[in-house]
Chains A and B, each alone.
Chain A
Amino acid sequence: MTEEEDSSAKMSEDVKRYLKLDPRSSSAATSEPPCSSSSSSSASALANKSRNFKSFEPPCPDHVLENVLENVLQFLTSRCDRNAVSLVCRSWWRVEAQTRFEVFIGNCYSLSPVRLTHRFTRVRSLVLKGKPRFADFNLMPRNWGAQFAPWVAATAKAYPWLEKVHLKRMFVTDDDLALLAESFPGFKDLTLVCCEGFGTSGIAVVANKCRQLKVLDLLESEVTDDEVDWLSCFPAGETHLESLSFDCVESPISFNALEELVVRSPFLKKLRTNRFVSLEELHRLMVRAPQLTSLGTGSFSPDNVLQGEQEPDYAAAFRACKSISCLSGFRDLTPEYLPAISPVCANLTSLNFSYANISPDMLKPIIRNCHNIRVFWALDSICDEGLQAVAATCKELRELRVFPFDPREDSEGPISGVGLQAISEGCRKLESILYFCQRMTNGAVTAMSENCPQLTVFRLCIMGRHRPDHVTGKPMDDGFGAIVKNCKKLTRLAVSGLLTDEAFSYIGEYGKLIRTLSVAFAGNSDRALRYVLEGCPKLQKLEIRDSPFGDVGLRSGMHRYCNMRFVWLSSCVLSRGGCREVAHALPNVVVEVFGSDDDDDDDTVTGDYVETLYLYRSLDGPRKDAPKFVTIL
């Protein structure tokens, strides 16, 4: 008996609360130890149960099974596993739905909010993604959709215990944020990535009303300046804040309010300030919060160049922050102060210099000490020389992103295949790379494919359109071909440069695990699109722009659009008729066509040409909130 009582204590509170149990069987059921391994234990649990059961009636087998399942399923967190579980039978579907606390919706238009709340009744965490990625590059008109409003309205009623909302590329208004803040008393985590539509007033409401708030992360979002001092809106007293990121907020803040907030947030581990925080202010924050693990350094530029007076000892402040493993910011870097970060370099696992115009000579003394770096983002101002320095030291590097300082097609290109090859030779554990350059060679790309077998993400952007290998003059087919052939774990690929249909034949044939493919200004004909759609068995997200793919190519994917998250084709050569064909053939797929200007108010069809096609599967049919310029076929 004691053994059973012990195990009952071990069972999580959540499960106890949520188990729908017959009162007579409750003691027996709760005496089951939580099943920590797989199906075999559920069988023995079942056996235990019948031995210990005290009631006079034998339990209904379904009921028992469901109870057991609930115990087991609480340990399944992966949504892929859960999706599989839900397909076993109706009973399992039901139990899975009751025990799924975290819901991920990759396309907010793939289902209606009502469907979500009907199926899953106990959601604590919601991840919602809205617009497709090409919207970030002005290829989608504003007001296209992806509004958070219907979702917050539905979840406000259905999930009073909602704790976490994570949105990406959604349109969120201040009213939505206010409703969220008021509806969920236990709300803990708001993360908005690449969102827009709201301002500092919405943030202020969240800060003020969400008393349990642990995470407020605004990442790469557009936040209107409503001239509200939102930092002062956090309630007095100790907060639960663990992470506060507002580096994308392009409006000044009240530093005093920030400082006071930091002082009363003992659990704060991640703080990412915006560029309106000067170096002196950063110093003050660091002194108040030496427990930080992740720091966004704001401008990294002093307000005043003190003359004759003592400047704050920035290096000492960094030395005192012994736990810092992640550094970012440097929005307005004053180079002389960069060495101040040296004390933390050895512990850094993540370093983001992508807003700082850092030359190779500035980089080298810093990076020399960064042996543990796993994630490094920078501008191409570091040149091939800087990349060589990275390759020489950062043997643990997993992710590299190099952005262009001057993102134009005809700008000077300070990095090239030389840097790429150096990285491939030095950083053998590399898994993910995003590399913007002006010139590249098949040789360098092939070298990377051979040296970095762990690559899962390979995104190369040769900024000049249709640029061939600058040494041989040949297309970049061989390089990308080598990538797909040699990097067997590759799940995400973005191609660029001069590419013929052949490149796509390689991708289709060898890209067995590719889920996301981005194509721009590439290929010769529909064959290329066909290769991809008839190959790449795991393809989920396909985004293509400015490539000569038409109706025939589009048709070649009809057998699989129902199993993909979305397909985007813009500035290709599609006709309305071709798109309509797909729409008619696939009722579960929503086919949207639109042009790139949003003041196209007339409903008349302007010709047969389709500027942009965006299609996605949907359980609930076409959306009702499409703006005028979108036509759903």
Chain B
Amino acid sequence: MEGCPRNRETIGPKLLDLIPQGRKWYQEDKNNIDQEKKLELRLGPPGGDEEDRSAMKKNNNTETRNIKMESEDKSFQGFNSNHFSSSNKTSQKRTAPGPVVGWPPVRSFRKNLASTSSSKLGNESSHGGQINKSNDDDEKQVEPKREGMFVKINMDGVPIGRKVDLNANNSYEQLSFAVDKLFRGLLAAQRESSGGEGEEKPIIGLLDGKGEFTLTYEDNEGDKMLVGDVPWQMFVSSVKRLRVIKSSEISSALTFGCSSKQEKMRH
């Protein structure tokens, strides 16, 4: 059925949809497994082999916590536990269980409240910025209102850090303009105070390595990377903070402590 997309996170548990949404939790091989108790249901780090259909299917490992009662009788009846063992490969590095399909049991139209109405919280009485309906038309275009996704951004040579709203930008180009806007004045002020020119120069060339500065980021795995190499959405979903560094210091900034991912990407 062609549904009018209603801000639903999942439209139906298609296999591919399950992968980002329902991060299945599965059991570690090393827990387990008494030959008799074929069915040990446990919690291990989430993720799993995405190609392995049977791994996707079994998402029902229950956790046995240490604080729990010593429950004697785990009489899981004769059952092949093949389906419960899965690869140790994890696609996300999380130590806590990931979200499970359909849990908590809240219907999808109740789920996006956090992102649509946070700006309306009573404490901050703001109704500015509400105009997302075009007033002239009868037909109201309503964009789903999204919460700003603010990440910290620092710049070499500027002691003051800023925050940039990634959701307000749709491309790297826009982001680079935003960075320019945020830091141009500050940079100039900084230079002036340290005896240099106070003239405001646009900060350009952040993405191609040609400018004085280059934009880098730290992703959710702690790796430092150059901005611009991956598709925008992928970037937005993995970025944790940004840093504007001097282009001359790229190689030292990136290799310090981290990945050779960037090396590979640049080739």
Binding site for B on A (CB under 8 A): 134, 136-139, 141-142, 171, 196-197, 199, 220, 222-225, 248, 250-252, 254-256, 276, 278, 301-305, 332-336, 354-359, 361-362, 379, 403-410, 436, 461, 463, 465-466, 468, 473, 475, 498, 500-501, 520-521, 524-527, 545-548, 550-553, 570-573, 575, 578, 595-600, 606-609, 611
Contact = CB atoms under 8 A, between A and B. Distances in A.
B139 interface: yes
Contacts of A547: 62
Nearest to A304: B135
Contacts of B1: 142, 171, 196-197, 224
Contacts of B10: 138
List the 7 closest pairs (A to B, CB-CB), nearest first: A571-B60, A137-B102, A550-B77, A142-B12, A225-B4, A335-B122, A524-B71
Nearest to B107: A136
A137 B122 CA distance: 30
A404 B122 CA distance: 17
B106 A407 contact: yes
Contacts of B13: 138-139, 141, 596-598
A284 to B, nearest CB: 14
B4 A607 contact: no
Nearest to B138: A254
Given A138-B13, A357-B118, A598-B14, A436 B79 contact: no
B140 interface: yes
Nearest to A524: B71
B58 A552 contact: no
Contacts of A596: 13, 18, 57, 59, 101
A224 B5 CA distance: 8
B109 A220 contact: yes
Interface string B96-137: 110111111111111101101110111101011011010100
Contacts of B62: 465-466, 521, 546-548
Which interface class (under 10, 10 to 19, 20 to 34, 35 or more) fits B?
35 or more
A336 B71 contact: no
B76 A332 contact: no
B249 interface: no
B230 interface: no
B127 A334 contact: yes
A527 B117 CA distance: 45
B39 A573 contact: yes
Contact of A572 (B60, B104, B123): B60
Given A223-B4, A301-B127, A134 B102 contact: yes
Nearest to A199: B4
B79 A573 contact: yes
A404 B107 CA distance: 11
Nearest to B2: A224
A233 to B, nearest CB: 16
Given A224-B2, A463-B104, A609-B58, A409 B99 contact: yes
A553 B76 CA distance: 10
Nearest to A609: B83
B266 interface: no
A527 B65 CA distance: 20
B73 interface: yes
A250 B76 contact: no
Contacts of B4: 199, 222-225, 250-251
A489 B104 CA distance: 27
B68 interface: yes
B102 A525 contact: no
B91 to A, nearest CB: 17
B106 A404 contact: yes
6 contacts: A141-B13, A248-B109, A461-B105, A550-B39, A551-B77, A575-B78
Nearest to A276: B140
A339 to B, nearest CB: 11
A25 to B, nearest CB: 55
Nearest to B12: A142
A331 to B, nearest CB: 9
A102 B139 CA distance: 41
Contacts of A171: 1
Nearest to B140: A252
A547 B135 CA distance: 52
Most buried by B among A171, A359, A524: A524
B231 to A, nearest CB: 25
A89 to B, nearest CB: 45
A526 B71 CA distance: 12
A617 to B, nearest CB: 25
Nearest to A527: B73
B94 to A, nearest CB: 11
Given A139-B102, A142-B12, A525-B76, 13 more contacts: A138-B13, A252-B139, A303-B135, A304-B131, A332-B120, A357-B113, A405-B113, A465-B103, A466-B65, A500-B68, A551-B79, A596-B13, A607-B80
A276 B133 CA distance: 9
Contacts of B76: 525-526, 548, 550, 573
A199 B5 CA distance: 12
Contacts of B108: 138
B120 A407 contact: no
A336 B3 contact: no
Contacts of A550: 39, 76-77, 79
B113 A573 contact: no
B163 interface: no
A409 B97 contact: yes
Contacts of A355: 110, 113, 117
B64 to A, nearest CB: 9
B56 interface: yes
B152 to A, nearest CB: 22
Interface string B168-186: 0000000000000000000
A597 B18 contact: yes
B138 A256 contact: yes
A303 B141 CA distance: 12
B15 to A, nearest CB: 5
Given A250-B4, A405-B113, A361 B12 contact: no
Contact of A501 (B15, B39, B71, B113): B71
Contacts of A255: 138
Contacts of B74: 524-525, 548
B142 interface: yes
A526 B80 contact: no
A211 B161 CA distance: 65
A335 B125 contact: yes
Given A196-B1, A305-B130, A333 B120 contact: yes
A306 to B, nearest CB: 12
Contacts of A333: 117, 120
A336 B125 contact: yes
B138 A608 contact: no
Most buried by B among A301, A527, A596, A606: A596
Contacts of B123: 359, 361
B75 A359 contact: no
Contact of A524 (B73, B106, B117): B73
B54 interface: yes
B71 A250 contact: no
A441 B14 CA distance: 37
B139 to A, nearest CB: 6
A332 B12 contact: no
B201 interface: no
B97 to A, nearest CB: 7
B75 to A, nearest CB: 5
Most buried by B among A220, A224, A436, A546: A546
